[in-house]
Chain A
């Protein structure tokens, strides 16, 4: 059976705008409509991944053949990320009802579907301007989701939103300038066409356009020094939105960055930029996380650090390092979503984000504490969790490629990571609890966290299943760059 990737973007977009209307049927209806649509995407992306592993799935929008029409291209990498996006999306959908406040929940679900559709579009498109449009859809949906918070957190959410909006809009303007310059020297926007025409184009214009595009996309990918919005946004957002940012928005943004550097420019300068800024991002993120006293802010900086690790791994540009980077990407998407969810449950029952308040939570909320610990162990890279495999592959790959310094820096960043996560885990399990009453997390949210924890553990003890997909996915990126 041939799967049309258009459906995975078109159906959620269409349903998203039906949701405000559907609330007339029943107040509960929008939630299930959104859930059903994401489930539809999940099933379709599984079938798509299966098909894409055999041969890339290409779909011409409106029947117009490239270079005239827009083309959707689902290789192993794009299909894998589409599956990742819909998995994180459906699990967060299960988790979220008690964590969003306010009466107009249908608006939340509408934006949530728009975000899912936009991110799916980002990973499946084969056209540069189309990538820009989907980036904007994702960005506008995430600005609005970030602003969607009521009560005492609203003030912080507003501040984070205005910061994120200004830097996000500026970055998308830069991205578009890059596209315009590239179009002026190549006369096409199709990614496959672009990569074949770039070697014959004026190299100076191409280099300038690459700088603009890297600056524009680096913001979404949390690349230093463009990540000033990240800690504020993760702190200000409501808990499911932070989880979705870590699991979907940043991953799609990073995919766009990697896709542009590998498939379009195929440039070793681009890889060098990724390597240098990736390692700086890693060190800065982890060091900043060390001195946080706010739980969500600590997780946000840890997220920056992990993205730095992934960007570094991609910057090395070997088959092995790409597999390691993709493994780290999957692990981070699942484990960090899990951490934000369980941290959300802690914060909801404690009423504060202060790490000091977590004393003895292991006795009061045992299940949630175990789930948080699993997520933390996986991010740290302890054996039998997904993070271990990803870190060992990346370090091995960096020694293999002759980057000893990078391997040392990654190891030392892992030590910092170990320190600040163990500090929290130790507070949860070793301290005596206070005598305040806590509210238990709902069963639905526990189930979705358990699924994420199970995925993380499976990634740690049975990595072969994932390597089978990641190998072709890394090969797809490397093919363009000529196996460098």
Chain B
């Protein structure tokens, strides 16, 4: 149960960072925090207290392992998260080159 609260808290912190912070790098950090929260949520869905990793070895049978599928999903999502963060940071570098600022409220040439 604790894990669910922790992941909800992480997601909420990340969304707060996205909404309140003006610095583009801090906003991207917020995205990473949300990602970690989602990963934790996925892992805790598959977690069963007192059971072990689903690797076939002596003493491990299908009845006492945790659900392996969420772990595969989390691995995939970690890779996606890393690549999105890397891409976002490289875009921020080029934004800085043109605008000479990281303040998101000054990066607004395009309007409605």
- A residues sitting closer than 8 Å to B (CB atoms) are 129, 133, 136, 140, 143-144, 147, 154-156, 158-162, 165-166, 169-170, 172-173, 176-177, 179-180, 183-184, 189, 231-232, 235-236, 288
Contact = CB atoms under 8 A, between A and B. Distances in A.
Given A155-B109, A156-B109, A173-B31, 19 more contacts: A129-B76, A133-B76, A140-B80, A147-B91, A147-B94, A154-B94, A156-B110, A158-B98, A159-B108, A165-B84, A169-B31, A173-B11, A173-B34, A176-B42, A177-B11, A180-B38, A180-B70, A183-B45, A288-B112
B66 interface: no
B94 A158 contact: yes
Contact of A176 (B15, B31, B77, B94): B77
Contacts of B42: 176, 180, 183
Contacts of B69: 183, 189
A232 B84 CA distance: 20
A144 B87 CA distance: 8
Contacts of A231: 110, 112
Contacts of A158: 91, 94-95, 98
B3 interface: no
A236 B24 CA distance: 19
A173 B32 CA distance: 10
A209 to B, nearest CB: 12
Contact of A159 (B27, B83, B110): B110
A180 B40 CA distance: 10
Given A140-B84, A231-B110, A165 B45 contact: no
A140 B69 CA distance: 24
Interface string B23-45: 01001100100110010011001
Contacts of B83: 140
Interface in B63-112: 69-70, 73, 76-77, 80, 83-84, 87-88, 91-92, 94-95, 98-99, 104, 107-110, 112
B18 interface: yes
A180 B42 CA distance: 6
Contact of A180 (B15, B41, B108): B41
B92 A140 contact: no
A454 B25 CA distance: 47
Interface of B: 11, 15, 18, 24, 27-28, 31, 34-35, 38, 41-42, 45, 69-70, 73, 76-77, 80, 83-84, 87-88, 91-92, 94-95, 98-99, 104, 107-110, 112
Nearest to A157: B94
Interface centre among A154, A165, A176 (most CB of B within 10 A): A176
A166 B27 contact: yes
Nearest to A136: B80
Given A158-B91, A165-B87, A169-B88, A133 B80 contact: yes
A169 B24 contact: no
Contacts of A172: 80
Nearest to B92: A162
Contact of B18 (A136, A147, A156, A166): A166
Contact of B34 (A143, A170, A180, A183): A170
A159 B34 contact: no
> Which 5 pairs from chain A and chain B are nearest by CB?
A155-B98, A184-B45, A232-B110, A158-B95, A173-B34
Nearest to B83: A140
Contacts of A165: 84, 87-88, 91
A130 to B, nearest CB: 10
A236 B91 CA distance: 14
Given A136-B80, A155-B98, A159-B110, A170 B24 contact: no
21 contacts: A136-B80, A136-B84, A154-B94, A154-B98, A155-B98, A156-B110, A162-B88, A162-B91, A162-B92, A162-B95, A165-B87, A166-B88, A170-B34, A173-B31, A176-B38, A180-B73, A183-B42, A183-B69, A184-B45, A231-B110, A231-B112
